[in-house]
């Protein structure tokens, strides 16, 4: 009995030490390459070892984190994801890809200098396509449950979340766009995927009406969608989302 208690204590100490040592360097550095080019991304492996397949959580950064150094995309959310995935019920892979400058996750032409189409084409953007190809590749290579792929993103990544689920609703179990916007014509394809939409009502960068309109459209079709609006909050509503007790809980309760 005494030896059993000592063993359990050692396991607990080891677990706590590992938890305290986790930081941004725990996200492995990778580069995804396809026939259309390449995209850097960071990946966090499951905290707990298991014989079962685990979910995949995809997070799309905003326009300010674009680049090719494979680091800036960790500015918002990475610490929160580290903490949440140490809870056994949220054991999963986390990938945070990085979009290059002068590119976007969706076809929406928000930057005047971007010359990728005219903003009216209903197609997946180059980097949106990279994300889809990466997800499909990881599902084949890793012990990922294909029925539990979740996607979220902020600002430009919120647009990307709406857009990618609209183009590939078969790929995602749930989505949580933050301070983004949607093409309602395309969004019609995605009504079967549960959305939890977030926005600050004082946002001066992406008008809150973008999320309100998306939610009104979705909820008319299906009642499994949610909307949270933060009063007096500007464009940084992701800070509020990362304090939401049910953010991960809601996502991980969904399955295709």
Quick check: 43 pLDDT over 80?
Answer: yes
Q: Which helix (H) or strand (E) holds 176?
A: strand 174-178
pLDDT at 21: 72
pLDDT at 6: 43
pLDDT at 120: 59
* CA dihedral of residues 97, 98, 102, 108 (deg, nearest 10): 30
Q: Looking at the structure, give the CATH architecture of the domain made up of residues 26-252.
A: 3-Layer(aba) Sandwich (3.40)
What percent of the chain is predicted at pLDDT more than 90? Answer: 83
Query: What is the per-residue burial (b if ≥16 Cβ within 10 Å, else e) of 105-118?
Result: bbbbbeeeebebee
**Mean per-residue pLDDT, 167-178:** 98
pLDDT at 22: 86
**Mean per-residue pLDDT, 105-122:** 59
pTM assigned to the model: 0.89
**Mean per-residue pLDDT, 153-170:** 97
């Amino acid at each position: 009995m005494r030896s059993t208690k000592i063993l359990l204590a050692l396991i607990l100490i080891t677990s706590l030490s590992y938890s305290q040592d986790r930081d941004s360097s725990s996200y492995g550095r990778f580069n995804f390459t396809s026939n259309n080019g390449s995209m850097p991304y960071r990946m966090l492996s499951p905290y707990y070892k298991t014989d079962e397949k685990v979910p995949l959580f995809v997070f799309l950064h905003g326009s300010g984190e674009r680049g090719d150094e494979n680091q800036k995309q960790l500015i918002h959310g990475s610490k929160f994801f580290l903490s949440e995935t140490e809870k056994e019920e949220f054991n999963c892979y986390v990938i945070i890809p990085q979009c290059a400058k002068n590119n976007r996750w969706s076809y929406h032409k928000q930057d005047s200098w971007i010359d990728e189409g005219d903003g009216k084409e209903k197609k997946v953007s180059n980097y949106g396509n990279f994300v889809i190809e990466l997800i499909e590749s990881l599902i084949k290579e890793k012990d990922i449950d294909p029925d539990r792929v979740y996607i979220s993103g902020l600002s430009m990544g919120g647009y990307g979340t709406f857009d990618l689920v609209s183009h590939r609703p078969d790929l995602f179990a749930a989505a949580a766009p933050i301070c983004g916007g949607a093409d309602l014509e395309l969004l019609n394809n995605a009504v079967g995927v549960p959305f939890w939409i977030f926005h600050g009502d004082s946002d001066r960068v992406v008008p809150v009406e973008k999320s309100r309109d998306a939610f009104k459209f979705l909820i008319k079709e299906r009642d499994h969608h949610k909307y949270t609006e933060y009063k007096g909050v500007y464009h940084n509503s992701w800070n509020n989302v990362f304090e939401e007790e049910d953010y991960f809980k809601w996502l991980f309760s969904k399955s295709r």
